[in-house]
Structure 1
C-alpha cells in the first residue's frame, strides 16, 4: 500500500516537462491512483521509470509497450481520458 507521502513523490515524478505527458500523468496520479488495484499501482510506478519519448509514443498511440504490465497501465490511463 502506498502512503500519502509516496503518492506525493509519485505526483512529483509524474511532472515530466512535456505538456502532453504532464496533462495525462499528473491528474492520473492525483485523481485515480488511490483507487487502483495494488498491481496497477505497481505498474504505474514502473511506468514512471520509462523514457519520456517512449511514454509520448505510447500515449499518442504511435506504438505500444512490449511489456504487458506497461501496456496495461498505458491502456488504463488512456481509457480515463478518452471518450467511450
Structure 2
C-alpha cells in the first residue's frame, strides 16, 4: 500500500493549470501564408543587405603581398617582380 501512495507524484491539494485551447487563426491557411511570406521576405532582405554590403563597403582589391613574394613555377616568376622598399 505504501508503494502506491509514493508513486503518486502530486498531493491531492495541488492542481495543474489547464491547457488553453489554441486559437483557430494559428491553425488557419491565412496564418501559414503570412508566416511563409514573412520568412521569405526576411531571407531575401538579409540577402539584399549582404549584396549592398559587398557593393558599397567590401574592398576587393588584391593585396600587395604578391609583389614581395612572387609566385613561381619551376623557378621562373609568373608575374613581373617589383622591388620592395
- Asked if TM exceeds 0.5, the reply is no
Q: Greater share of strand residues, 1 or 2? A: 2
Q: Indicate the TM-score class for this superposition, using the shorter chain for normalisation.
A: under 0.3
Instruction: Report the structure number with the largest CA radius of gyration.
Output: 2
- TM-score, length-scaled by structure 1: 0.19
- Which fold has the larger relative contact order, with Cα–Cα distance below 8 Å and residues 6 or more apart in sequence? 1
